[in-house]
Every structure is written in C-alpha cells, then in structure tokens.
Structure 1
C-alpha cells in the first residue's frame, strides 16, 4: 500500500528531505513476519513483502533544480510522510547509511526541514554529477568544418 503525499498539513505528517538525485522507495515490513522468517528452520527463499511503501522525491524534484544545469549541490526533494510510518521506518532501518549520513532526514514542519537542508546543503553527498570543465585531460570535441 503506497502512501501518497498529502496536500494539506496535519499534525500527523512530517516533511522528509531526500538529497539523493532520483529519490528512494522506503519499505516498511511487519516485524513479527521478519522475526518468524529469521527463526524458521528451513530457509525462506521468497523476499518479504512490505506492508507499506513510500516513494521519496529526490533532489531532481527540488523546485530550484534546472535540468540543463544539472546542479545537485544544495538540492533536496520534499515529501510529506505519515509521522507514524516515518518513526517505524527509522526504527527498523536505523543503520541505513543514507539515513545515518543525512542524505535522508525529516522535520515536523516544512520550514524546519528546508532550514536543515540549507544548513547541510553545501556538504557534498558524493552523488553529484562531475563538472566536465574541471576534468583533467578531457577536452570538448571540435566541430568539423565542412
């Protein structure tokens, strides 16, 4: 079941900022099912089925992003997520590297989330594209004069 972003702000949602270029899908699994799979004597070969999924908008969905410039530094997609989902997902994925490194973070108010993005935005994520003008030994091809 996918949770769609809500148009109106309620006290039960948080604004999640994702600095990854294309965003990411957050899957929440039933913890009792995961424990039963882990305790099973015979290996369970099929993957677990998420009980809830939320797709976060990535940095390319930032209102300031311009595809021609393709500048990702300081950009972050904003997604309204149910607060209980976010709490459960962060508890279940506490060691997820993008969460630990600040590529994904949340705040109760959108203004607070945007302020956190401005604060963290100038730190490189490692997912930004290369600047073709700064590459050593690479020169643009000249046009043929026909």
Structure 2
C-alpha cells in the first residue's frame, strides 16, 4: 500500500492545506494542463491533482469534513488516478462559482464593451 494519495481539486487556483506546522499546496484547475484558448477556460471535468502523504490527508480531512468545498465535492481523493478522473467526469456539472465567464455566452443583462467604445 502506497504512503501517498492523490487529491483532486476543482477550485481554479487550488488552496493550501495545513496540518500542524506542515503545509501542502493543492493544485487547482488552472494547473491541470487543460486550459484552452481563446478564453483560457478549462473543460468542465478538469481538476488539479496533487500527491499528498496519506497520513497528512487523513488528518486534514478529519478536521475539515464540514468545509464547504469538501461538502460540495470540489475536493476529493483516491489512491487511483483513474478513479479520480472518473469522479471528475461525474462532477463535470458541479461549479465552484469561481469559473471564468465565457465572453461568447454573457448573461442577457450584460453587454460586452469594445476597447475605445466608451
């Protein structure tokens, strides 16, 4: 059994996990390597993956079960990469609320202003 576990994070820039004096940075969607032009947006099933020591993860998750990103399913873990990617596919419609706005699909209440238009 491996001493490490993979943690997936659907937050754009990841976050820091602290246990005692130890700190680990979780990669976010922007570090997934799946950012696409022209608007630098990631596919909806993208996640940042970070290898974390199993005992660190177990200590952190024990203390953060009620943390909103954990409760919503934006941060999850597995010892199998394929299982994590399958779960990311299942959660592709799950939004953090921090996603970039696609300028080609602006809400009807907004209009795009071109440079020099004002």
- Bucket of the pairwise TM-score, normalised by the shorter protein: 0.7 to 0.9
Matches within 5 A, 1:28-43: 28-29=19-20
SS in 2 for 1:127: coil
**Which runs of 5 or more structure 2 residues have no equivalent in the other structure?**
none
Per-residue deviation at 1:81?
0.5
Counterpart of 2:10 in structure 1 is 19
TM-score using structure 1 length: 0.69
For this pair of structures, how many residues does the alignment match? 114
Determine if contact 2:12/2:30 at 8 Å carries over to the other structure. Answer: yes
Per-residue deviation at 1:67?
5.8
Determine if contact 2:39/2:102 at 8 Å carries over to the other structure. Answer: no
**Which runs of 5 or more structure 1 residues have no equivalent in the other structure?**
1-9, 30-50
Per-residue deviation at 1:142?
6.6
Counterpart of 1:60 in structure 2 is 30
Instruction: Please identify which structure carries the higher strand content.
Output: 2
Determine if contact 2:9/2:27 at 8 Å carries over to the other structure. Answer: yes
Counterpart of 1:37 in structure 2 is none
Of structures 1 and 2, the larger Rg is shown by 1
Please report the RMSD computed on the Cα atoms of aligned residues, expressed in angstroms: 2.0
Does the alignment pair 1:114 with 2:105?
Answer: no
Does the alignment pair 1:87 with 2:58?
Answer: yes
